[in-house]
Amino acid sequence: MRTSSTSTTPSGTAGTPSSAAATPSRPSTAPPGPATGASGTSFRARLAALLAGVATVGALITAGATTAHAADTPLRDLAAAKGKVMGTAVTGSKLTGTYGDIAGREFNWLTPGNAMKWGSVEPTQGSFDWAEADQIVNFAEAHGQEVRGHTLVWHSQNPDWLANGSWTPAQLGTLMQNHINTEVGRYEGRVAAWDVVNEPFNEDGTYRPTLWYDGLGADYIASALTWARAADPAAKLYINDYNVEGVNAKSTALYNLVKSLKERGVPIDGVGLQAHLIVGQVPSTLQQNIQRFADLGVDVAITELDIRMQLPSDSAKLTQQAADYKAVMSACLAVTRCTGVTVWGFTDSDSWIPDTFPGQGAATPYDENYAPKPAYRAIVEALGGTTTEPPTGACTAAYSVTSQWNTGFTGQVRIACSGAALSSWRASWNFGAGQRITQAWNGTCAQTGATVTCSNASYNGTVPDGGSVTFGFNGSWSGSNPVPTVTLA
Ligand code: G3I
C-alpha cells in the first residue's frame, strides 16, 4: 500500500460577431456510439459518466438551487423523439475526456467551430490541412452523429493569401468553385448539410461588401450554391446569418433572397439562424420568422445558439437564461420545418463569447467545469424530458479531467454550494483503474491504495451559499482513466 501526500500550492447580437444545423431528411438513425450512453442508464451512473460526483452535506436551507442535473435521457434522444436534431459546435482537439463524453452522448449533430473554414483547411494556397476536420467527421461517424459543414464562402477567417490577394472576377470565381469542389467533394456523403454562404447581409438588409460581393456581385451566392450542389448532390445547402432570428430588415432581406433563389431554381435547402442571443432578449417574432421561411419551402435550423450575460452569473440570470433557451427550443419545436438546434459550444469553457465580448459569458448550457446549468434542464424540459431535481440546499462536488496525455492527466474537483455553505471540506473518491495523484494545488491530497482524500487549504475551506471552490491535481494513468464519484464530507 502506497501513500502519497502532496503539498498545497496556490494556482491559479444581439450585436454579433462578424453560422449550423440540420435537416430532418437525414435523421440520426445510427445507434449511439460507445461514449453515447444508454437512455435507460440510472441518474447516478449517468452523473458518474458526466464526471460529476454529488454529495449532500450538512446545512439544509431553502434557496433554489442553480445547478441542473443531467437528464436520464440524452438531449439527442429527446430531440430525435420529437423529429428534431440537437447539435453542438466542437473543437477537434478537445474531443477526449469529459468534453468528448458529453459531445458524443448528448448531441447527434456536430459543427466544426473553426476546422472547416477556408483559413483552416488551406492556409497556404494549394496546401491543405484536413486534420481537425477529418478528426471531427471521424468522431461523428463513430458516435452516430451527422456533421454540419461550416462554412464555405465567408468574409472572415479566410487565409491571408486569399484575403490579401488581388483577383480578377474570373479568378475569384475559379477560386471559389475550386474551393467548394475540393472541400464538399472531400466529404461527399459524410457531411449532411453545409453552410454554403455565411453572413451575406448588413444589418439594414443590404449586401455586405466582401471579397465575394465586391468581385462577383450578389450572384456569388447563387454560384456557390450551384457549385456545392454539383459537388455533393445529397448534401443540404444553407445560407446562414446572425441577427436574422426575429422579423427585421436583415431577416427580410434574407427572406427575399431565398424566395428569389427558389423562383430561379437555384439549389437552396435551408436557412440557418445563428441565434447569438443576449439573456432576456429572445426576439418575440422568432417563431413567426421561422414559419415564414418554412412557408417558402426551405428548412430552418438554429445553427449557433448561445445566450450570453454580463458576468458574474447569478441565480437570477441563469434562471432567465434557462427560460430563454426554452423559448428558442419551443419556437423550433412549433414549426415542422425547423430541423433542430445547434449550440455554439456546449460548455462555457469552449465559447467564443468572453474573447469577443469582454465581461460577458456563461452563454452555454454547461458551465466551464462541465456541470449542466439550468439552461441544460430547460432544453430537456422543452424536449419533453425530465431531470432529477438537485437536492435543495446542497453542496456538490464535480470531478473533471481537464487534460490527458500518454501517461498523465490533470484533473480538478469543483465544490459548489447552493442553499447551503461549508466552513471546511473533505472530498474523497476511489480510483477505479489504478490512477495515482502526483501533485495537488488549492488542496491537500493523500492517496492510500485506490482511495484519494483531499481537504481544503488554509485559505479555501469556506464555500459560501452560491459560491464555489476548485482544487486541482496531476496524476498518472494507464489503460483507462475512468471518472470516479466524489463524496463530500
Ligand atoms: O488557432 C489560434 C491559436 O493558434 C492562437 O493561439 C489563438 C490566439 O488567440 O487564436 C486561435 O485562433 C482563434 C480561433 O477562433 C480558434 O480558437 C482566433 O483567434 C479566433 O478569432 C477564432 O474565433 C472564432 C470566430 O468564429 C472567428 O470569427 C471562434 O472560435 C468561432 O467560434 C467563431 O464562430 C463564428 C462562426 O464561424 C460564424 N458565426 C459567428 C461565430 C462567432 O463569432
- pLDDT tens for the chain, residues 1 to 489: 233 333 222 222 444 443 333 322 332 323 222 222 223 233 223 333 332 322 222 222 222 233 344 557 999 999 999 999 999 999 999 999 999 999 999 999 999 999 999 999 999 999 999 999 999 999 999 999 999 999 999 999 999 999 999 999 999 999 999 999 999 999 999 999 999 999 999 999 999 999 999 999 999 999 999 999 999 999 999 999 999 999 999 999 999 999 999 999 999 999 999 999 999 999 999 999 999 999 999 999 999 999 999 999 999 999 999 999 999 999 999 999 999 999 999 999 999 999 999 999 999 999 999 999 999 999 999 999 988 766 566 788 988 998 999 999 999 999 988 777 888 899 999 898 999 999 999 999 999 999 999 999 999 999 988 889 999 999 999 988 988 988 888
- Alpha carbons within 13 angstroms on the beta-carbon side of residue 291 total 9
Cβ atoms 13, 273 nearer than 8 A: no
Ligand 1 centroid from CA 94, angstroms? 15
Please state, as a whole number, how many other Cβ atoms lie within 10 Å of the Cβ of residue 204.
Answer: 9
Cβ–ligand 1 distance for 352 under 6 Å, the answer: yes
Cβ–ligand 1 distance for 18 under 6 Å, the answer: yes
**Quick one: three-class SS letters along the chain?**
CCEEECCCCCCCCCCCCCCCCCCCCCCCCCCCCCCCCCCCCCHHHHHHHCCEECCCCCCCCCCCCCCCCCECCCHHHHHHHCCCEEEEEECHHHCCHHHHHHHHHHCCEEEECCCCCHHHHCCECCECCCHHHHHHHHHHHHCCCEEEEEEEECCCCCCHHHHCCCCCHHHHHHHHHHHHHHHHHHCCCCCCEEEEEECCECCCCCECCCHHHHHHCCCHHHHHHHHHHHHCCCCEEEEEECCCCCCCHHHHHHHHHHHHHHHHCCCCCEEEECCEEECCCCCCCHHHHHHHHHCCCCEEEEEEEEEEEECCCCHHHHHHHHHHHHHHHHHHHCCCCEEEEEECCCEHHHCCHHHHCCCEECCCCECCCCCECHHHHHHHHHCCCCECCCCCCEEEEEEEEEEECCCEEEEEEEEEEECCCECCCEEEEECCCCCEEEEEECCEEEEECCEEEEECCCCCCCECCCCEEEEEEEEECECECCCCCCEEC
Ligand 1 centroid from CA 114, angstroms? 7
Cβ–ligand 1 distance for 156 under 6 Å, the answer: yes
Ligand 1 centroid from CA 192, angstroms? 23
Ligand 1 centroid from CA 277, angstroms? 18
Cβ–ligand 1 distance for 388 under 6 Å, the answer: no
Q: Show which residues are catalytic.
A: 304
Cβ–ligand 1 distance for 91 under 6 Å, the answer: no
Ligand 1 centroid from CA 442, angstroms? 31
Cβ atoms 399, 473 nearer than 8 A: no
Say what angle helices 315-333 and 374-382 make with each other, to 10 degrees. 20
Cβ–ligand 1 distance for 93 under 6 Å, the answer: no
Cβ atoms 324, 343 nearer than 8 A: no
Return the C-alpha cell found at 20.
449550423
CA–CA distance, 429 with 447 (Å, rounded to integer): 10
Residue 48 pLDDT: 32
Return the C-alpha cell found at 415.
465544490
Nearest ligand 1 atom to the CA of 242 is 39
Q: Determine which residue's CA is closest to atom 43 belonging to ligand 1.
A: 17
Cβ atoms 379, 122 nearer than 8 A: no
365 phi-psi bin (left φ>0, alpha ψ -120 to 50, beta other): alpha
Return the C-alpha cell found at 472.
486541482
Q: Determine which residue's CA is closest to atom 20 belonging to ligand 1.
A: 352
Tell which residue, 350, 363, 366, has the closest CA to residue 111.
350
Q: Determine which residue's CA is closest to atom 30 belonging to ligand 1.
A: 352
Tell which residue, 302, 183, 180, has the closest CA to residue 246.
302
Which residues lie closer than 8 Å to 73 by C-beta, 6 or more apart?
A: 39, 380, 385
- Domains present along the chain, CATH in parentheses: 70-382 (3.20.20.80), 394-488 (2.60.40.290)
CA–CA distance, 347 with 198 (Å, rounded to integer): 24
Q: Is 359 exposed, middle or buried (0-12, 13-18, 19+ CB in 10 A)?
A: exposed
Which residues lie closer than 8 Å to 480 by C-beta, 6 or more apart?
A: 433
> What is the best residue among 156, 196, 308, 352 to mutate for testing ligand 1's pocket, by most ligand atoms within 8 Å of CB?
352
Q: Determine which residue's CA is closest to atom 11 belonging to ligand 1.
A: 114
Ligand 1 centroid from CA 358, angstroms? 15
Cβ–ligand 1 distance for 17 under 6 Å, the answer: yes
CA–CA distance, 386 with 77 (Å, rounded to integer): 13
Residue 16 pLDDT: 42
- Alpha carbons within 13 angstroms on the beta-carbon side of residue 74 total 28
Ligand 1 centroid from CA 169, angstroms? 28
Residue 72 pLDDT: 77
Buried b (16+ CB within 10 A) or exposed e, 13-31: bbebbebbbbbbebbbeee
Handedness of CA 402, 405, 407, 408 (dihedral sign): negative
Largest CA distance in the chain: 76
Cβ–ligand 1 distance for 19 under 6 Å, the answer: yes
Residue 56 pLDDT: 28
Which residues lie closer than 8 Å to 249 by C-beta, 6 or more apart?
A: 203, 204, 205
Return the C-alpha cell found at 19.
453560422
Cβ–ligand 1 distance for 241 under 6 Å, the answer: no
Residue 390 pLDDT: 60
Phi, psi of 381 (to 5 degrees): -65, -40
Cβ–ligand 1 distance for 274 under 6 Å, the answer: yes
Q: Determine which residue's CA is closest to atom 34 belonging to ligand 1.
A: 113
